[in-house]
Structure 1
Amino acid sequence: MKRVTLLYGLLLCCLQTAFAQVHPGNLTIDEQSDIDSFAYTSIDGDLIIQEKSAGAIVELNELLTLTSINGNLRIIANGAVSNLDGFSNLTDIGSGSITISNNSSLNNINGLSGITTITERLVIEDNNVLDNLDGLSNIAILDGFEGFSLRVKRNPNLSNGCGIIPILTYDPSYVPVYPSINSNGTYTSSVEDIIAHCNTCNTYEGNLILTSQTQVDTFNYCEITGNLTIQENVTGGITDLSSFATLKTLGGGLYIKSNTSITNLDAFNNLKAVNGSLELSKNAVLANIDGLSNIETIRGNLVISINKKITSLSAFNTLTTLSGNLNLLANEGLTDLDGFVNLKQIEGFLEIKGHRNMRSFTGLSNLNTIGKDLRIIGNDFSNLDGLIKLKEVKDNIELTNNFKLSDIHVFANILSIKELRIKNNNLSNFSGFSGLKDVRAIVLNNCDITNLNDLSNLTSLANRLVLYNNKNLENISGISNAIGKNIIQLEIGGNPNLVSLSGVENLEVINSFVSIFNNQKLKDLDALSNINKITKNLKIQDNSGLENACGIVQLLENETAVGGTTTITTNGVNTSAVETIIAFCDTNRVFNGNITIRTQEDVDTFKYAKIIGNLTIQESSAAAIRNLDGLTSLTNVSGDILIKNNVALSTLDGLTSLNTVEGEFVLDTNNTITELGYFRYLRSIGGKLSVINNQSLKNIDGFSSLRGVYGNIIIRNNKKLTNIKWTKLNHFPF
């Protein structure tokens, strides 16, 4: 019995569902929830869609199940509905009418394209933004009462009525009697206007160049297979472009240039795509370009250049595809960049140049990819906020002569570019580029930065490093992680406060040239000491404060190290000639990196005054190091000193020229050392001082000149050490 009851219940449910697909009688929908729960395929009566309150209905997509209405379809007074795509499967309205009225956001009715016959009336009234009737183009028969069959009124934005041409031309005797068409947009306010506008369609094969008003007035094409160029041949020769209202298809580019009397482009409002480039240049009084506002695709470049009166680019807010470059040049009427809000990708470069009146950069707000360069040159805005979604620039970024530009945070998502060029802006830091990982070249000219620390996340820079005329630049160590063994070009000049080249120590080969010039406070070239090959020229010139050029002595002593010319002149006392540098550096050489001394031969052949790294003295075998006399040239170690496990050393006399140890000083398990020697020049140690396990050490008086140790002091397990006379350091615990 239970099984029978269950089967009966299931059968009843299925029957109810099947019959529920047809709605009996009239149906009124007044809120979105009615739309969302709609499940009918047919309505046996009228369908009325009219919101009960503002915004109560926003879209009709859930009506796609509906295929027929045996009554009237009325879509009335809906403020948020923008299209009728939900009716895309509707093919039959039986014996009813269609009324579409007072829908303030409705811009197209393409969803009605499945309907072919209306037996009563068709009314399209008071839809403020509706611009075409293309969705009615499949209706060829309209059988209504005389005087009421067709009403198209008060649709102010309606510019294309071609969708009702099949109705108007179905029966010639029908045209002057039944339709009531008026108070719409251009070309849609009378039957005659619509027929004239829609039925005259000729195609021009090839490129068309128009140079006079007479030629423009005779234009009667809806399609050009090539380019269209409008360029007057005499001043004031072209004044009115209204004849282009018929143009719908352009197979090539559109070039409007060097015209003195054209004020607007309203006639091009039927153009949706330019299958080439679009150029507006040198049009003296062109102010209104809103006629281009229906263009969605440009399959070439977009150039807007030297148009003094254009004040807005909002006409391009519908543009979604740009296959070439976007070039905005010297349009002095532009005070902001407020267009291109739907453009997500530019396949070519973006250049914005010469807009001294532009104060705001709010456009391009959805742009995320630039296929080539980004060039911002000679503008007066202070930020680039419109580029906030930019994630990729595939070639170079150039910021030049934007004297008020102080904020570049929009580049935070850019990880890699080919070249970064920055010149003459108002940037005090490069924090906007702190996310950069990879760049091939950096060119900085006349920037207000003091260092390159904001570029410390860079891991690769293999092409050029050029630093010119950066008056506040003091050091470049921030790019040390990006500098490898090779670079093509190194140019550093006109940086009056630069004191060091630290940051480029890894360089070994320069595949073009090196030029270091006019850096008045630069003291040394130590950071260049690992370079062993320059394929072209070497220039060290006009660095008046340069005291030590030993960082390049290895290049000067090797005749084949520099492939081109070597120019060294007008630097400091010991750095203004090749011969002088070689002579001076005989005892003042620099080594970049760590040095480990393991044998007496290592000691005897040592020739450096400075080590930019660590020094380790640890014999390779018992008694392999007997003394340190060969180290007397060494004055500076930027890292640590470790002297450990040497069995034949009795003193550290060879190191007593030291004046700087920036790291630790460790003396560990050297069992034959009895005394240190006198480190008369050593005033401080930058890290810890550790003297441990030296069984023969009797005193450490050699450190008596020390005034500071900036780390722990550890002295222990030195069995014969009985007295420490360091009155200057008695405030340090040990």
Structure 2
Amino acid sequence: MRYFPKSTFSFLLLISIFILFNSCSSDDETLSTITVNAADFFVTIEERPTAGQVLGTVDGSTSQGSVSFSIIEQSVNGAFEIDASTGELKVVNPDLFNFDTNPIITGTVKVSNGNIFENALVVIYLEDIDDSNVFDGRIWLKTQAELDAFGANNYTHITGQLVIGTRYALEFSDIIDLSPLSSLTSIGENLFIAGNEDLASLNGLQNLKFIGSHLYIFDNPSLSSLAELNKLTTVTMDLNIYQNQSLLNMDGLAIKHIGGILNITSNPSLTNLLGFSELISVGSIQIQSNPQLTNLKGFENITEVSTLRLGGNDALLNLEGLENLTQIHALLAIGACNLLTNLDELQNVHSSPAEITINFNNSLLNINALSNSETVEYIDVSNNPVLVNLQGLENITSANEVYIYLNSSITDLSGLNNLTTVDYLGISQNPNLSSIAGLENLKTVQSSLFIEQNPTLANLNSLNNLETIGNDLRIVENSALTDFCGLQTVIANNGPGNTYSVYGNAYNPTQQDILNGNCSL
């Protein structure tokens, strides 16, 4: 197999394209508060893909509403297309994806929200295929005998999907040796290595360099290492590694590009991720239920992701490895990481994810590292028993939904000081919340405001500037709540648009009581 040389000329050409087209523009930048983020897209695929083959997705987001995607130009006209609403890139003309004539195909995608837009660079590297010994189609190898017979053909490339093992079947395969596959260098579609009870090594895949779609490695109880994948540099879509009971680490890997999600889940013996130290691009990172994992070292080269999801990693002490992360576009979710005390390694993230979910973290003391977040669509901070305040959210001015539930140590809502507009706000079951100080600048609740079961909450004074509740106001079962005078302004402005529900508190005034000045005991 031949590779296109990374010459100085090619490098300078790409840099020039990047400088020329990766810029942000608008007709009215200074007057608009809308921002748009777009991530450059890099992928390596084999030449001669199929028509309609998915290349990946350009990540784009906006602080308000939604974005649309369009192609401004491409170096080889008609090579690929983009879905206007999702950003998914697909092959249009497979004949143009020819290594000999177009070893690199580039383009520029416009990510826009009205007149506000940002351009993303698209670079598609092609790998040459050795046509001398290709298996055309898909193959499922369920037994050692089938694998031995297939391997005797010494195929270098499989155009379709390769399954090794029983995949989702209830029983395990008898496969223990992959060495007959040692001539294999690339797979056009998915690779599954699954359901192999006694497979201890991936020896036989040491020459594999490229996977054209997803890679799944799961339910291999004896597999302790992935080191034999040391030549694999590109997984075009998702890389899934889960339920491998003996897998200790990722040492030996040399993967540089993962086009979709990196999903590492339920590997009970996994202690570190240092094997990902050569990874330079990945769509999203999902690390869940790995009880021996103590940090995230290995991701130092990653600067942006669409989603970062961390959950159920009981030994995770810190987020070391994410210090260079600067952009999270869609979702930041951290849950059930019970030794994690702070998120300090995320302090360099300067773009606001659309959603922030922080819940069920028993040792989390603060979320100060999120202070660069400004406009977020969804916020859920719940079930963090030692979290003392919401500092870190102080620059957020608007959100669609905000939930503050079951945080035992929070005494007020300081940290939401700049929140002016929200669609739905729920404050519930915070046993030591004695004040809602922090909501002084809240003016508009477009839909509903719920304040429920906060037993030490005494007054609503910090809602003095609230002017509008579009639909429902529900204040129930706050056993110490006697003072509703903070609602006088919003009630005078015709109150909630639909339901006024107040009961189970120490005092339960009607809307007329509040208008008449009988707003507290």
* Common fold: TM-score over 0.5: yes
Q: Is the 8 A contact 2:491 2:514 kept in 1?
A: no
* Match in the other structure for 1:315: 252
Task: State which of 314, 318, 321 in structure 2 corresponds to 1:386.
Answer: 321
Q: Where do 1:48-447 residues align within 5 Å? A: 202-219=133-150, 220=153, 221-232=155-166, 234-316=171-253, 318-347=254-283, 349-370=284-305, 372-379=306-313, 380-415=315-350, 416-425=352-361, 426-447=363-384
Maintained 8 Å contact 2:462/2:486: yes
Q: Select 1:495's aligned residue among 411, 423, 430.
A: 430
Query: What is the distance in 2 between the residues matched to 1:454 and 1:567?
Result: 32
Kept in 2: contact 1:369–1:391 (CA 8 A): yes
CA contact (8 A) 1:441 1:461 kept: no
Aligned partner of 2:120 in structure 1 is none
Residue aligned with 1:394, SS: strand
In structure 2, distance between residues paired with 1:557 and 1:419: 33
Stretches of 4+ moved more than 4 A in 1?
553-558
Report whether the alignment pairs 1:512 with 2:444. no
CA distance in 2, matches of 1:421, 1:258: 33
1:587 equivalenced with 2:517 (yes/no) = yes
- Measured in 2, the distance between the counterparts of 1:411 and 1:394 equals 13
CA distance in 2, matches of 1:420, 1:238: 43
For 2:298, the aligned partner's letter is: G
The yes-or-no answer on 1:468 pairing with 2:405 is: yes
Greater share of helix: 1
Return the offset for 1:200.
11
SS state at 2:276 partner: coil
Shift, 1:420, TM fit: 1.6
Q: Which whole-Å CA distance do the structure 2 matches of 1:341 and 1:524 have between them?
A: 52
Distance (whole Å) between structure 1 residues aligned to residue 261 and residue 198 of structure 2: 27
The alpha-carbon deviation at position 306 of structure 1 amounts to 0.5
The answer for unaligned runs of 5 or more in structure 1 is 1-60, 62-198, 591-608, 610-734
Superposed counterparts of 1:556-567, under 5 Å: 561-567=495-501
What is the rounded CA distance, in whole Å, between the counterparts of 2:416 and 2:427 in structure 1?
14
8 A Cα contact 1:553 1:582, kept in partner: no
Counterparts of 1:597-636 in structure 2 under 5 Å? Answer: none
Instruction: State the Cα distance separating 1:295 from its structure 2 match.
Output: 0.6
CA distance in 2 between counterparts of 1:563 and 1:230 reads: 60
In the TM superposition, residue 434 of structure 1 has moved relative to its aligned partner by: 3.1
How many angstroms does 1:454 deviate by? 3.8
Residue 474 (structure 2) pairs with residue 539 (structure 1):
yes
CA offset at residue 407 of structure 1?
3.4
1:532–1:407 distance in 2 versus 1, CA, 3 Å: closer
Q: Deviations over 1:54-112 (max 9, x none)?
A: xxxxxxx9xxxxxxxxxxxxxxxxxxxxxxxxxxxxxxxxxxxxxxxxxxxxxxxxxxx
Aligned partner of 1:690 in structure 2 is none
RMSD of aligned residue pairs (Cα, Å) = 2.5
The answer for the alignment partner of 1:649 in structure 2 is: none
Aligned to 2:104: none
Structure 1 letter corresponding to 2:273: L
Q: Which has the higher contact order (CA 8 A, sep 6+)?
A: 2
* CA–CA separation in structure 1 for the residues paired with 2:446 and 2:207: 56
User: Taking structure 1 as reference, are residues 257 and 577 closer, same or farther at Cα in structure 2, changes over 3 Å only?
Assistant: farther
Q: Secondary structure at the match of 1:276?
A: coil
Look up the equivalent residue of 1:202 and give its one-letter code: N
The question of whether the paired residues in 2 share the 8 Å contact of 1:414 and 1:435 is answered with yes
How far off is 1:490 after superposition? 0.3
1:522 aligns with 2:457: yes
CA distance in 2, matches of 1:269, 1:302: 17
SS where residue 334 of structure 2 aligns? strand
Number of residue pairs aligned between Structure 1 and Structure 2: 383
Aligned AA (1:491):
G
Corresponding residue SS for 2:376: strand
CA deviation after TM superposition for structure 1 residue 222, in Å = 1.3
Q: Equivalents in 2 of 1:230, 1:243: separation in Å? A: 12
- Could you tell me which amino acid in structure 1 is paired with residue 474 of structure 2? K
Change (3 A) 1:242 1:521: same
Which residue of structure 1 lines up, in the alignment, with residue 64 of structure 2?
none
Q: Call closer, same or farther: CA 1:360–1:504 in 2, change over 3 Å.
A: closer
Work out the CA distance in 1 between the residues paired with 2:252 and 2:190.
18
Of 475, 478, 484, 1:549 maps to 484
1:473: how far off? 0.7
User: Could you tell me how far apart the structure 1 residues matched to 2:144 and 2:464 are?
Assistant: 72
**TM-score under structure 2 normalisation?**
0.69
Question: 1: distance between equivalents of 2:492 and 2:324?
Answer: 53
Q: Residues 449 and 585 of structure 1: is their aligned pair in 2 closer, same or farther, counting only changes over 3 Å?
A: farther
Q: Which has the higher strand share?
A: 2
In 1, the alpha carbon distance for the partners of 2:342 and 2:509 equals: 44
**Superposed displacement of residue 561, structure 1:** 4.2
Counterpart of 1:477 in 2: which secondary structure? Answer: coil
Matched position secondary structure for 1:307: coil
Q: SS where residue 245 of structure 2 aligns?
A: coil
d(CA) in 2 for partners of 1:536, 1:346: 41
Helix, strand or coil at the partner of 1:432: helix
* CA distance, structure 1, for counterparts of residue 459 and residue 220 of structure 2: 57
Q: 1:320 to 1:463 in 2, by over 3 A?
A: same
1:566 Cα deviation after fit: 3.0
Instruction: Give the residue type in structure 1 aligned to 2:499.
Output: T
